[in-house]
Structure 1
Amino acid sequence: MSLSLPRRPALARLDPALAIVNIVLLLIFFFLGAGQPARPPAELQLAQTRLLPAAVLPSPVLELHGAERWLLDDQPILPELLPAALALHDGPLHVMIDRQAPASLLLDLLRHPGLEGRDLRLVTRPNGPAP
């Protein structure tokens, strides 16, 4: 006598490709949304510099006009002499650079060995008439 047991129903197997397609689609939507450039506000105005006398600015102010053309409190200074000149001043060094200057100029200043441990502050001049 033979007993016949009912057969188990075959398990439905999900295709792993379906999960991969879902993940890829989600990543595509994420990068499409995250990659959209942000629109600047309509009233965006960039900072501008104007000539002002050094007496109006905080001291010491280092103005960068080029790789070798620096002014410390309206006096020309060589980059190599900057640490010696700053030894006379306590407090932060105010740095002013034109917005059209290359960023490498500011980065070179930040890497200057004489400025290690020194508090640096970027300053701008108001966009009005000189007092």
Structure 2
Amino acid sequence: MSLNLPRRPLPARLDPALAIVNIVLLLIFFFLSAGQPARPIGDLQLARTQQLPPGTLPSPVLELRGAERWLLDGQPILPELLAAALPPHDGPLHVMIDRQAPASLLLELLRRPELEGHDIRLVTQPDRPAP
């Protein structure tokens, strides 16, 4: 006498093509979103100081007016003599630069070895009404 038992169902297999399709769709969405052009910033306003009394300027202030025209606390100084004129590292060095000055001027100042160890802070210049 023979017994006919029901066969076990085969385990379900996931089709590997489904995973590939999902990855391809994710890549398409990623490249569509990453490829969008950046929106231009139209309403960017830089900070401006409207009134700054002369007696409230912090010290020391290094004012950059050009590549060779520097003022340290209102006194002209040559860039080569900056190391000797700087006070010790006891406080921050305030740097004042015109808004229209090239960024390379500020970057060259920050690369100078005599400024290593100093806390550098940028100070804004007040807007002066046109005469």
What residue is the counterpart of 1:109 in the other structure? 109
Structure 1 stretch displaced more, 78-87 or 96-105: 96-105
Gaps spanning 5+ residues in structure 2: where? Answer: 1-8
Counterparts of 1:93-108 in structure 2, within 5 Å, are: 93-108=93-108
Cα separation, partners in 2 of 1:91 and 1:11, compared to 1, 3 Å: same
Gaps spanning 5+ residues in structure 1: where? Answer: 1-8
Distance 1:89 1:13 in 2: 70
What residue is the counterpart of 1:81 in the other structure? 81
State the one-letter code of the partner of 2:109: L
What TM-score comes out, normalization by structure 1 length? 0.66
Name the structure, 1 or 2, with higher relative contact order (CA <8 Å, separation 6+). 1
Counterparts of 1:1-131 in structure 2, within 5 Å, are: 19-31=19-31, 32=33, 36-37=37-38, 40=41, 42=43, 44-48=44-48, 55-87=55-87, 90-127=90-127
1:69, distance to aligned residue in structure 2 (A): 1.8
Cα separation, partners in 2 of 1:90 and 1:12, compared to 1, 3 Å: closer
What TM-score comes out, normalization by structure 2 length? 0.66
The number of residues matched between the two structures is 128
